[in-house]
Amino acid sequence: MPVEADAIVLFGATGDLARRMLLPSLYFLDADGFLPDGFRIVATARGELTREAFLEVVHKILSDRPEGLDEAIWARFSARIAYVGADATTPEGAQALKAGLGEATRPFFFLAVSPSLFEKICVSLAAAGLATPESRIVLEKPIGRDLATSRHINGVLSEVFDESQVFRIDHYLGKETVQNLIALRFANTLFEPLWNSLSIDHVQITVAETEGVGARWPYYDEYGALRDMLQNHMLQLLCLVAMEPPADMEPDSVRNEKVKVLRSLRRFTRVDAAEKSIRGQYTPGVVGGKSVEGYEAERGQKSGTETFVALRADIDNWRWAGVPFFLRTGKRLPEKRTSISIQFKPVPHSIFGQASIHDLSPNRLVIDLQPDEDIKLTLMNKAPGLSSGGMRLQSLPLSLSLLGAYEGKGGRRRIAYERLLLDVINGDATLFVRRDEVEEAWRWVDGVADAWAEANIQPKPYAAGSWGPAGAFALIERFGKAWSD
Ligand code: BG6
């Protein structure tokens, strides 16, 4: 049994991720009684800030949230917090952290900082004797920009920490419905016999966002939609849909199965680049009734980076041969929506007379991750009432809404990081990405990027507020399918 951590050292404690996600998640974990007694929060950043000033900032962040702040919980939570204003990449900084940890001996280090600091922080933790076998390290993406750079970062980590101590976050794995996908597949007898190329026609995964890139431009322009979203979140979703049943829920059992899927992804060729993918970049338009500027205007700079990508992925294995997986993601699309749609094959023959086989909609299992978390299974049924000239059929969803199922105070929706932070505290790495997974995902994504470069595939413009370039529709139609909305 892994030991329970007794402290978090939060690097980048005044940054965006800490403010929006990590500090609120720690607070909610405390509110729900999940933080162990005596658990310490050592917040660190380079800024010269007193503990009091930092606590004021955190108090405001929590009070401004829709859930509001409970002063009694705040009293307990704030007592756990130490603030260390230091440069953790220097020996003095690391010593200051050591002092901040006090009696804690099993800390985890959460690097909510620029990846350019990962290496220096690891080296400095090791030099200060803080990287003990009882410690853990948590990293956010991006872990590299391609296979070579991700190998470098992973190599540095492995010199200081054993792989079992490394927790690579993909926050999509902390989302309730993503975990529910595992339950749906492996806690029911209904789907698994149908979960293969005999019954499934194709799979669609859509991650649509209304937000533009804005202040994140310098980072984003280096990465683009392929590296920012597809390499990690979307391939993780694809793996969970496509993996074989793991032997159990042990971290390595699940991760072994995901890696096999990544290894089975068919490498993109130059011809595929044109036929099976499309890149887009948003131009001015209207999103949610508001006029917004185009990607290049946000920074006043020309760019060849894609803010939209759609592609067909093929998994060359026994289960999925011939079943296309269509992936689509973009910024400045009409709505924020993440969904996985599994489309089953049509019935082999229609007995319904003029309701020919084409009128019978194939069954579809739709797993919505956001904005609503629900699972729908569309089924054909008889339209109620009388009709002459044969039975009228209609397609209706069986719906499993997870809204009422939220645990936590007031049925609020948990932040994905709550689950993930709790798992790090308990040492459960099932929902974290192993080194070989990251590297296999990069290997495949590098293949797509290389194919684009060879075939000189440039981003096509699309108006903000639209569903991407027209080519995204042509792409899926080329294979006889349509995006399901
Ligand atoms: C991040 C990407 O990993 O995920 C962002 O870097 C993106 O560009 C975000 O906006 C989306 O996350 P969510 O949870 O809002 O779907």
Q: What is the pLDDT of residues 425-435, one digit of tens each?
A: 999 999 999 99
Task: Show me where the domains of the chain are located.
Answer: 7-140, 173-477
Q: Tell which CATH architecture fits domain 7-140.
A: 3-Layer(aba) Sandwich (3.40)
As for the ipTM of the complex, it is 0.99
Ligand 1 atom with the smallest distance to the CA of 172 is 14
**So what's the pLDDT on residue 360?**
84
Q: What is the pLDDT of residues 181-205, one digit of tens each?
A: 999 999 999 999 999 999 999 999 9
For 173-477, CATH number? 3.30.360.10
Taking residues 134-156, what's their average pLDDT?
95
**So what's the pLDDT on residue 352?**
83
CA of 206 to the centre of ligand 1 (A): 13
CA of 105 to the centre of ligand 1 (A): 33
Residue 359: pLDDT over 80: no
Answer yes or no: is the C-beta of 446 below 6 A from any ligand 1 atom.
no
**So what's the pLDDT on residue 358?**
63
Q: 177: annotated binding-site residue?
A: no
**So what's the pLDDT on residue 354?**
65
Taking residues 284-289, what's their average pLDDT?
97
Answer yes or no: is the C-beta of 228 below 6 A from any ligand 1 atom.
yes
**Average per-residue pLDDT for the chain:** 94
Q: What is the pLDDT of residues 220-254, one digit of tens each?
A: 999 999 999 999 999 999 999 999 999 999 999 99
Confidence of residue 109 (pLDDT cuts 50, 70, 90): very high
Least confident of 340-344, 348-352, 403-407: 403-407
* Fold equal for 7-140 and 173-477: no
Taking residues 338-354, what's their average pLDDT?
89
Q: Is 152 a catalytic residue?
A: no
- Entry pTM: 0.95
**So what's the pLDDT on residue 408?**
47
Taking residues 72-93, what's their average pLDDT?
95
**So what's the pLDDT on residue 341?**
97
Task: Find the catalytic residue in 202, 233, 349, 358.
Answer: 233
CA of 309 to the centre of ligand 1 (A): 15
Secondary structure of the chain as H, E, C letters: CCCCCCEEEEECCCCHHHHHHHHHHHHHHHHCCCCCCCCEEEEEECCCCCHHHHHHHHHHHHHHCCCCCCHHHHHHHHHCEEEEECCCCCHHHHHHHHHHHCCCCCEEEEECCCHHHHHHHHHHHHHCCCCCCCCEEEECCCCCCCHHHHHHHHHHHHHHCCHHHEEECCHHHHCHHHHHHHHHHHCCCCCHHHCCCCCEEEEEEEEECCCCCHHHHHHHHHHHHHHHHHHHHHHHHHHHHHCCCCCCCCHHHHHHHHHHHHHHECCCCHHHHHHCEEEEEEECEEECCEEECCHHHHHCCCCCCCCEEEEEECECCCCCCCCCEEEEEECCCCCCEEEEEEEECCCCCCCCCCCCHHHCCCCEEEEEEECCCEEEEEEEEECCCCCCCCCCEEEEEEEEECHHHCCCHHHCCCCHHHHHHHHHHHCCCCCCCCHHHHHHHHHHHHHHHHHHHHHCCCCEEEECCCCCCHHHHHHHHCCCCCCCC
Answer yes or no: is the C-beta of 209 below 6 A from any ligand 1 atom.
yes
**So what's the pLDDT on residue 306?**
98
